[in-house]
Amino acid sequence: MSAVEAREHVGWIVTSTSDVEEAQHTLTHPDLPSEQNYMERLYDRLEDLKSTARRRLDEAHSAGGGTPQARSERESYIRLYTQELATYRAANMGLCFGRLDATDGSTNYVGRVGLRDDDAELTPLLLDWRSDLSRPFYLATAARPEGIERRRHIRSHGRKVVEINDEYLDADLAARSGAKELDTADVAGEGALLEALDRARTGHMTDVVATIQREQDEIIRNQHRGVIVVQGGPGTGKTAVALHRAAYLLYTFREKLDRSGVLILGPNSTFLDYIARVLPSLGESGVVLRTIGDLYPGIEAVGSEHEHAEEVKGSEDMVEILKRAVKNRQSSPSQRTKISVDGVSLEITPAMVRKARGRARMSRKPHNRARPAFVDVLLDQLTDVYADVVGRPLHVTAGDAESVAREAALFSDPDFDAAVDSGLVDVVAEGGQVARIDEGGPEALERNLLTADDLANVRNELEDHDELAELIDQWWPILAPEDVLADLLSSRESIASAASDYVEEDQQALFRADGHSFTPADVPLIDELAEILGVDSEAEREEEERAWQEQLRQAEEALEILQGSANMEFEDTDSEILAAYDIVDAEALARRNRADSDLTVAERAAADRTWAFGHVIVDEAQELSPMAWRMVMRRSPNRWMTLVGDIAQTSNPAGVDTWGQALSPYVEDRWQLCELTVNYRTPATITAVADNLLRSINETISSPRPVREGRYPVGWHDVELEDSDAVDATLMSILSSLEQGRSTAIVATAQRCAQLSRLPELNSILSASTEEAGLIQVEDVRRVKGLEFDHVVVVGPDEITGGSIQGMQDLYVALTRATQQLHIVFDGVVPVELAANG
Ligand SMILES: Nc1ncnc2c1ncn2[C@@H]1O[C@H](COP(=O)(O)OP(=O)(O)OP(=O)(O)O)[C@@H](O)[C@H]1O
């Protein structure tokens, strides 16, 4: 399908095949003055609303004191006006970009934000692009006009309207408007998009709200309340769609999502930085942006990983290995241990510890939360031992006096001899030696000299027993997930024990030296361990709530005391005198110590491992390993998710091969697949080369249709890569041939990047480049996922394909990053997969 056919596919009425230059040619539209007036009116109204929000915000800030209720109301107002102000500020650029003329004669303007007049009827002046009434702006076609007869695209610079293009959805009206006007207008609607696509790229993505296409809009507004998967090739706008969907959902389900938050996960921090401005430019700030590497609160995974380790750690087998690693920390002694309580020596046998461990395991609670069971069973047994030793009358039936005396020492009971003499001790002797001392049976128990209170006291004493506490910490320690993982990965013995069924090579892959920082592949393991251990924010919250109630009780007590003494002090004095209890209530007093009350939902959600997000969006979702899916699914108990990705671009060896396989453990087949089929980034000249490679990766995946033909052929350069001078000279020659003022990425394997960054000529160009003049960067091929540049120079394609298990996919990603020009620098051999075009 040609670029023009692709444009028809996305729903434009194309009556001419003119290119970008022609589309940009602006005819003076007869409505330009009236549209300029309307634009002025909109901006004036926006200014009014901004100053009102600013004034209200100032008032809310300066209002002091008040009851806790007033304080919390004030905080809500501050949040509300801050958000309003951010929305109005964000709407400043390109405030209005469309107009819809309906067949019933009504007219609506479409823009970044909804505006109403301040008349009595609050007449709508501008529709928010996300409102239902705005939908035909994105969806209406000649075949399905949705009650619209004309769609107008308005381009402006600041307040100045610079271009108006009309699309007629009604043939009669188009004819009445005159054929010439119709042709030009129809092409110009397309021109708005082509102009946007042709624009020089900075290091940051921009929103596409004025030019969202039909198939994209259908996904953005998809009402399915479960999992939707957005599959699309490179440049089809998956990221754009994901971000606009977040803005749409926050607008449409504001109340619910304001409370629960939206999480957007991206592949790496460079990518998050690249997309970070899109949502604020749409007026949305309450979204948590994270990578898998920083999704676990308090952990920042910056280490790098060998891909074999990435594969092993990503496999779901790790769940069992981690469980074993935790089990291995639940130990029992190999010998009897003695502790002394009130001068009484108590013996703890391995069997007693094993019994406690068995009971704790049987509780089926996570490790840390099973510890109380372990402690309980151990203390019960020790209390019994104490009772046996101290309180229970014993009965001697046999044995010689000497042996009995030796046993007496064991019991540290000064009255033991007396007990033997009086026949209270039951010693069983064999062969002239004491074989064992029986508990004495039910009658003896009945005669136990310790009361229930005595035993309770003994138990309390055992609870506070330092030596015993240390032993318990050895046998059933409280564990932190990051410590368990660090200990496991840095000990070959621990790995061998926990992963005994792994082959040597896989065990090796897990090992790393002590003190190594965590990698992104470690983070899902830490999260899994947090589950196995029971590191639970819910429990922490309960604990916090208990602490809060305690603070409140203490504050009430303090105020009561104050009140009591005030009654005495002020008995005969002026009743008008204000006492502390008049102006501070218990809650306000207690609240002074509470620091977290001002946190936003996004801040609280980001800090809480167990936060249940209202909606979760995953970009480049094909990169998630089975372990990472487990982690992400925990954040989305309601399974309302938008997963965006392209399985042809999977570079994680543990990543997704098929969506069904990745999702079935969580939602079986209850997920919806939406596909994007048009490539907005890469022109056809570049796509042709990438398509050759795609066929080698997966024959069944069809490549998206490019919307632009492209002005430049792909450049091929045969250079000996080990000859640094030659490489330097080639790169210089390529860079000087590129259109200036545009961004350029030189993409290679990490190893080759290290060589490139030492090339003298290139280095001086790199350090002198600026964003304004067109940034030039050297980028590791593993870091360019999701990004785009005007020009891309791929160095050493065969090194990229041979450099990793997913090398072909990495090269495919690299080839599809350019919006304008692609150059390929190879060393004698062009990978066969590209050769058709070499
Ligand atoms: N409707 C649109 N109007 C204008 N620009 C668009 C539109 N859709 C996509 N684009 C632009 O096309 C480019 C590619 O979009 P995006 O990065 O979202 O694609 P992607 O499918 O996520 O690509 P990849 O999988 O390769 O990372 C971006 O510059 C984006 O702004």
Burial level of 805, CB count in 10 A (0-12/13-18/19+)?
Answer: middle
Spatial separation of the C-alpha atoms in residues 80 and 138, rounded to whole Å: 30
If one residue of 220, 788, 792, 811 were mutated to test the ligand 1 pocket, choosing by the most ligand atoms within 8 A of its CB, it would be: 788
Residue 264 has pLDDT above 90, yes or no: yes
Q: Is the CB of 266 under 6 A from ligand 1?
A: no
Contact 642, 620 (CB under 8 A): no
Burial level of 386, CB count in 10 A (0-12/13-18/19+)?
Answer: buried
Q: How much of the chain, in percent, has pLDDT values that exceed 70?
A: 79
Q: Whose CA is nearest to atom 15 of ligand 1?
A: 237
Residue 69 has pLDDT above 80, yes or no: no
pLDDT of residue 407: 54
Single out the residue of 111, 103, 107 nearest to residue 131, CA to CA.
111
Residue 461 has pLDDT above 50, yes or no: yes
232 annotated as belonging to a binding site for a ligand: yes
pLDDT of residue 220: 95
Residue 4 has pLDDT above 50, yes or no: no
Q: What is the mean pLDDT of residues 453-480?
A: 92
pLDDT of residue 600: 75
Q: Whose CA is nearest to atom 13 of ligand 1?
A: 681
Residue 501 has pLDDT above 50, yes or no: yes
Q: Is the CB of 803 under 6 A from ligand 1?
A: no
- What's the length of the chain? 838
Q: Is the CB of 645 under 6 A from ligand 1?
A: no
- Give tens-digit pLDDT for 534-556: 976 555 656 666 666 776 676 66
Distance 786 CA to ligand 1 centre (A): 9
| Most confident residue range from 259-268, 292-301, 625-634 | 625-634
Spatial separation of the C-alpha atoms in residues 200 and 196, rounded to whole Å: 9
Q: Is the CB of 682 under 6 A from ligand 1?
A: no
How is residue 675 written in tokens? Answer: 């596909």
pLDDT of residue 572: 44
> Where on the phi/psi map is residue 146: left (φ > 0), alpha (ψ -120 to 50), or beta?
left
Residue 319 has pLDDT above 70, yes or no: yes
Q: How many CA atoms lie within 13 A of 488 on its CB side?
A: 32
| Most confident residue range from 437-446, 542-551, 730-739 | 730-739
β-pairing verdict for 227-232 and 641-645: parallel
pLDDT of residue 815: 96
Spatial separation of the C-alpha atoms in residues 257 and 261, rounded to whole Å: 5
Residue 18 has pLDDT above 70, yes or no: no
Residue 421 has pLDDT above 60, yes or no: no
Q: Phi, psi at residue 673, to the nearest 5°?
A: -100, 130
Domain 222-297+609-676 matches domain 679-834 at the CATH topology level:
yes
How is residue 37 written in tokens? Answer: 């007036």
pLDDT of residue 338: 93
pLDDT of residue 193: 80
pLDDT of residue 462: 93
774 annotated as belonging to a binding site for a ligand: no
pLDDT of residue 825: 97
Residue 581 has pLDDT above 80, yes or no: no
Distance 788 CA to ligand 1 centre (A): 9
236 annotated as belonging to a binding site for a ligand: yes
Single out the residue of 755, 829, 773, 675 nearest to residue 219, CA to CA.
675
DSSP string computed for 586-621: HHHHHHTT--GGG--HHHHHHH-TT---SEEEETTG
**Domain boundary assignment for the chain:** 31-211, 222-297+609-676, 307-329+480-536, 346-391+453-475, 679-834
Angle at 630 between CA 629 and CA 634, to 5 degrees: 110
Spatial separation of the C-alpha atoms in residues 355 and 407, rounded to whole Å: 25
pLDDT band at 516 (very low <50, low <70, confident <90, very high): confident
Burial level of 432, CB count in 10 A (0-12/13-18/19+)?
Answer: exposed
pLDDT of residue 418: 53
- Give tens-digit pLDDT for 749-772: 999 999 998 999 999 999 888 877
Q: How many CA atoms lie within 13 A of 683 on its CB side?
A: 21
Q: How much of the chain, in percent, has pLDDT values that exceed 90?
A: 52
Q: Name the superfamily (CATH) of residues 679-834.
A: P-loop containing nucleotide triphosphate hydrolases (3.40.50.300)
Q: Is the CB of 502 under 6 A from ligand 1?
A: no
The radius of gyration of the chain's CA atoms, rounded to the nearest angstrom, is: 36
- Give tens-digit pLDDT for 322-356: 999 999 999 999 999 999 988 888 999 999 999 99
Q: Is the CB of 820 under 6 A from ligand 1?
A: no
pLDDT averaged over every residue in the chain: 83
812 Cα distance to chain centroid: 26
Q: Look up the ipTM and state it.
A: 0.99
pLDDT band at 823 (very low <50, low <70, confident <90, very high): very high
Q: What is the mean pLDDT of residues 128-157?
A: 89
Q: What is the mean pLDDT of residues 14-29?
A: 43
379 Cα distance to chain centroid: 43
Q: What is the mean pLDDT of residues 646-673?
A: 91
Spatial separation of the C-alpha atoms in residues 565 and 554, rounded to whole Å: 17
Residue 15 has pLDDT above 90, yes or no: no
Spatial separation of the C-alpha atoms in residues 590 and 666, rounded to whole Å: 43
- Give tens-digit pLDDT for 195-211: 888 887 877 888 888 88
- Give tens-digit pLDDT for 71-124: 777 888 888 888 888 889 888 888 999 999 999 999 999 999 999 999 988 999
Read off the amino acid at residue 94: G
The domain defined by 222-297+609-676 carries CATH number 3.30.479.10 = no
- Give tens-digit pLDDT for 362-404: 999 999 999 999 999 999 999 988 887 776 544 444 444 555 5
Handedness of CA 284, 286, 290, 294 (dihedral sign): positive
